[in-house]
Amino acid sequence: MFEKLFKYPRVYARHRDGPLSDARESYLSHRANDGTAPNTLLRVARELLVIATEINLVVGKEIGIEEIEAAAQCWARRQQRSHRAHTQRWSHELFVQTARDWLRFLGCLREPAEIAVRFSNLISDFATCMRQERGLSSATIHNRCWHAEQFLSWYDQQQSRPFSEVSSTDVDGFLALKGTTCWTRVSVGTCAKALRAFFLHAEAHGWCSHAISAGIESPRIFDQEGLPAGPGWNDVQRLIASTNTDTPHDIRDRGILMLFAIYGLRRAEVSRLRLEDFDWEREIIRVPRPKQRRTQDYPLTHAVGEAIIRYLKEVRPRCAHREVFLRLIAPIKPISPSGLYNLTRKRISQLGIVARHGGPHSLRHACAARLVSEGLSLKEIGDHLGHRSINSTRTYAKVDMAGLREVASFDLGGLL
């Protein structure tokens, strides 16, 4: 690996003959296989030699964070004194980060002990119940546990009482605080729903009073506030048309936006798509549905198939990852759900498209609204969107204003 990075014989010899050369070269090869850019590899290689020189490392012996911090401080101070750096900050941060990643790779980093969080056992039991007994999705479990953790953290800081003495007044105070400082009514309502589920579980296990869950009230959601908000279909077509270029990012993003708009997929579902999920012979796309813990087959439309084939042939980096959609710049890795959100929101904003929420879910709403306008039943729309309950789909009936006007214009034969 050193011979690929360093062309000058003296520099190559310094890295090859330096301390722990095999361990450094092994880590650099690992980073190269993960798609790290050559310039980044060069910077890491230089820093690894400094770390191996500054810290008395022995492979197999654990090194603590405090030893890394001390060595980094000495190195940063020398860099500043020798006028190689204006401040100590960047030298210190690069040293610490690189050392932690390298030692963790070698299995030599002594990780700090986790600080015990009060009430963490309650959250763990709550999550286990939702997973094993109720069969809820991982996203729902994470969301409800997060809100329960927020409340318990606040309760621990504000009150010196045990959890068995928690009351409805405490829950009301927490929700009121969040509602007046940082959360919208919809967010407070989501939290109230999660806390209601948590306290139902707590009451069933005798952790607290039995009068709390029933007293948790959600704030009023005003008319139209809960309606799905997505761009019009003309704007969706304009968004997809904007990717009809020969640039690598447009070629990749075209397939992603089509999956959001035509199939109404969630961002987590698109990020999890793997190469084997496309059956090209049968023209089927197999979509993982995390909420249902199953996969759902869709017919692969000609336009979507062409867009994805072009991306796979011309743009997708060659690597060991099986996920379909990858980053196009190093480090090469699958695009995360948050990355899909950012690229969608950026493209919607650049085109000046007006949407209350500019992420992938707005395209899912646009897909549902279009299906409603095409006259599909709620059952058909729910199946297309992967809803488990008709209640999740019923909200889209509110947006079919053209259909409601048509109903209002019926001649009821003088009955009225």
Structural domain boundaries of the chain?
2-110, 120-215, 233-405
Region class of 404: left (phi > 0), else alpha (psi between -120 and 50), else beta: alpha
pLDDT of residue 293: 67
Could you confirm whether 16 is annotated as catalytic? no
Could you confirm whether 293 is annotated as catalytic? no
Q: Residue-wise over 347-363: b if at least 16 C-beta within 10 A, else e?
A: bbeeeebebeebbbbbb
Question: One of 147, 361, 370, 384 is an active-site residue; which one?
Answer: 361
As a three-state string, the secondary structure of 372-384 is: HHCCCCHHHHHHH
Instruction: Confirm or reject CATH 1.10.150.130 for domain 120-215, answering yes or no.
Output: yes
Are 325 and 335 spatial neighbours (Cβ–Cβ below 8 Å)? yes
pLDDT of residue 408: 43
Could you confirm whether 365 is annotated as catalytic? no
pLDDT of residue 310: 96
**CA distance readout (Å), 137 to 87, 163, 232, 364:** 48, 27, 30, 19
Are 323 and 274 spatial neighbours (Cβ–Cβ below 8 Å)? yes
The CA-to-CA distance between both ends of the chain, in Å, stands at: 86
Helices (DSSP H) in 9-88: which residue ranges? 9-16, 21-33, 38-54, 65-81
**Tokens matching residue 11:** 């520099």
Question: One of 144, 364, 365, 370 is an active-site residue; which one?
Answer: 364
Could you confirm whether 210 is annotated as catalytic? no
pLDDT of residue 222: 59
Q: pTM score > 0.85 for this model? A: no
Annotate 271-336 with DSSP letters as a single string.
Answer: HT-BGGGEETTTTEEEEEETTTTEEEEEE--HHHHHHHHHHHHHTSPPSS--BS-B-SSSSP-BPP
Give the largest CA-CA distance in the chain.
Answer: 100
Could you confirm whether 27 is annotated as catalytic? no
Query: How do the residues of the chain divide into helix, strand and coil, expressed in percent and rounded to 5?
Result: 60, 5, 35
Q: Which fold has domain 233-405?
A: hpI Integrase; Chain A (1.10.443)
Q: Over the stretch 152-211, which tens digit does the pLDDT of each residue have?
A: 989 988 867 888 899 999 999 999 999 888 888 888 999 999 999 999 999 999 999 888
CA distance 374 to 377: 9
pLDDT of residue 49: 92
**CA distance readout (Å), 25 to 68, 96, 345:** 20, 19, 40
Q: Which residues pair with 274 in a beta bridge?
A: 323
pLDDT of residue 135: 80
H or E element, residue 96:
helix 89-106
Could you tell me whether strands 278-279 and 284-289 are parallel, antiparallel, or unpaired per DSSP bridges?
Answer: antiparallel
Question: One of 15, 178, 201, 266 is an active-site residue; which one?
Answer: 266
3-state secondary structure of 7: coil
Please name the amino acid found at residue 314: E
pLDDT of residue 322: 93
Ordered mean pLDDT values, 10 residues apiece, the chain (416 residues): 86 89 90 82 92 83 89 92 88 92 89 65 92 84 93 84 89 91 87 94 91 86 58 90 94 94 89 93 86 80 93 91 90 90 92 81 86 78 73 59 46 45
CA distance 104 to 118: 28
pLDDT of residue 46: 92
